[in-house]
Structure 1
Amino acid sequence: MGHRYAKLMFSPAAKALQSQGRSRDTYARMEQGEDYNYLLSDKEAQFIRQRDSLYMASVSESGWPYVQHRGGPQGFIKVLDAATLGFADYRGNRQYISAGNVQSNNRVSLFLMDYPNRRRLKVAGRLEFVDPDDARLQALLDPNYRARIERGVLIHIAAFDWNCPQHITPRYTDADIDRMVEQRLRELGVDPNQQ
């Protein structure tokens, strides 16, 4: 089967466009051989644990796609095993668009971004809700984050892919900037604690 993400995402129409764009031969080779890119390695697990947000796409019953941003403290996305991610679903604007979409089609696509280092991990999977009284919810909680939890979310991974960094614009958090300034001050021989 080969690269699981390619097998799931490269539709006949996508393959035809790849042929027109002269990239099909390269991508066809990815689809050969043993299955890969469906079980997380330590590299993916570490990357995911360092994220403080994700983008999750789902599709409505009417066929319209929807993308939702999910955020929390760094590490709010839990790597439960090589094939399962999870996070606590904190109360937001209560539109419940994603929650409604996955009632009829539980397939979702995630983008996990590392803007400073221009890295992106794409994950395709099936979403399962965890009720508040389900014991599995405990593994998804962050005791230091004081938001109201409505339910837990499990993502059963079907495939993943690291994506090209070519057009990712670096973006930095305040903490990133503080670290860079502190490092630069130290390089200049200045004690950042004296500023």
Structure 2
Amino acid sequence: MSQITSLEQLNELYDKPHPLALDKEINQLEQHAIRFIEHSPFALISTTDPRGFADISPRGGNPDFIKVLDNNTIAFADAGGNNRLDSLKNIIANAEIGVLLMIPGIGEVLRLKGTATLHTDNALLEQFTDNKTPKLVVKIHVNTLYFHCPRAIALAKIWHQDSHIDRAFLPSLLRIIQDQSNDTQTQPITG
């Protein structure tokens, strides 16, 4: 198999997209996107590290953990975790961000692209106080968005109970990290 190295080669493999697929990208939040965000308890955020590598991180909470501030702005509190702060550091280095929002049981996903900023002003922090005030809020200015078709979710059967895998094949996260940390020699994968 030969490597695809140009747009021309890539375009030869695929039909042109349907006009609706191109026209569905819009530049501000509207009623359907707002309702989707208000009901979404899970998102993946994509940032870029200072070396130019993409990084993806999950975020989640109650369905209102991401708030719509206006037709071009959403925000969410940093929930704290392992304190690596990869995504937050990436936002400081490069504000461009991608967000993929999901709702359990719904196949469509909402894709957003924009620029992110980090904020500590009290008025904004108070909007995200559940049990305690967060250290900061990530605010995203939305440049483009569109609803993505459910094909990948349907193929993966993510929301189908019968497709859930028994975790017995995989140790706990703590065990995985301990094993990886204790592995002093990197063994190449063959096969």
Is the CA contact (8 Å cut-off) linking 2:25 and 2:145 kept in structure 1? no
User: What SS does the corresponding residue of 2:45 show, helix, strand or coil?
Assistant: strand
2:58 pairs with one of 69, 76, 82: 69
Structure 2 residue identity aligned to 1:157: V
1:167 pairs with one of 110, 134, 152: 152
The equivalent residue for 1:96 is 85
- Displacement, 1:22? 2.9
2:22 pairs with one of 30, 33, 38: 30
In structure 2, list runs of 5 or more residues that go unmatched. Answer: 162-191
User: What SS does the corresponding residue of 2:136 show, helix, strand or coil?
Assistant: strand
The equivalent residue for 2:134 is 149
Is the CA contact (8 Å cut-off) linking 1:15 and 1:24 kept in structure 2? no
2:125 pairs with one of 134, 137, 150: 137
Q: Between Structure 1 and Structure 2, how many residues are aligned? A: 154
Tell me how far apart the structure 1 counterparts of residues 21 and 158 of structure 2 sit (CA, whole Å).
Answer: 31
Tell me how far apart the structure 1 counterparts of residues 6 and 147 of structure 2 sit (CA, whole Å).
Answer: 18
Is the CA contact (8 Å cut-off) linking 1:56 and 1:68 kept in structure 2? yes
Q: Normalised by the size of structure 1, how large is the TM-score?
A: 0.69
Q: Deviations over 1:116-138 (max 9, x none)?
A: 1211111001001111x442333
Tell me how far apart the structure 2 counterparts of residues 78 and 41 of structure 1 sit (CA, whole Å).
Answer: 14
Tell me how far apart the structure 2 counterparts of residues 88 and 17 of structure 1 sit (CA, whole Å).
Answer: 43
Is the CA contact (8 Å cut-off) linking 2:72 and 2:141 kept in structure 1? yes
- Displacement, 1:61? 0.7
User: What SS does the corresponding residue of 1:63 show, helix, strand or coil?
Assistant: coil
User: What SS does the corresponding residue of 1:39 show, helix, strand or coil?
Assistant: coil
Tell me how far apart the structure 2 counterparts of residues 128 and 55 of structure 1 sit (CA, whole Å).
Answer: 17
Tell me how far apart the structure 1 counterparts of residues 9 and 20 of structure 2 sit (CA, whole Å).
Answer: 13
Tell me how far apart the structure 2 counterparts of residues 66 and 21 of structure 1 sit (CA, whole Å).
Answer: 28
| 1:147–1:137 distance in 2 versus 1, CA, 3 Å | closer
The equivalent residue for 1:55 is 44
Q: Which moved more, 1:161-170 or 1:99-108?
A: 161-170
The equivalent residue for 2:112 is 123
